[in-house]
Amino acid sequence: MEFEEMLTTGEATALTGLSASQLTKVCRAGSVVARKRGREWFIQRASLLAYLQAGHPDRFQHLTKPS
């Protein structure tokens, strides 16, 4: 079974700059692979990056630029 890195909403917010509210909407819409456990969303990192690359290329480029 392949390991899939899952991010909490807080981690995804810090990584992407999207607000928790925006990420929750993305999860509920099924735009990313995510699971809800209790009150917390766990978002698959690869799915989130693919979503950003397709719909928010400016944010994706910011994440992939070397520091």
Domain ranges of the chain: 6-64
66's tokens: 């070397």
Residue pLDDT, tens place only, 43-57:
999 999 999 888 765
E-strand stretches of 1-67: 6-8, 34-37, 40-44
3-state helix, strand, coil in the chain (%, to 5): 55, 20, 25
- What is the distance between the alpha carbons of residues 38 and 57, in angstroms, rounded to a whole number? 31
Is pLDDT larger for residue 38 or for residue 2?
A: 38
Confidence band (pLDDT; 50, 70, 90) for 27? Answer: very high
The structure's pTM equals 0.77
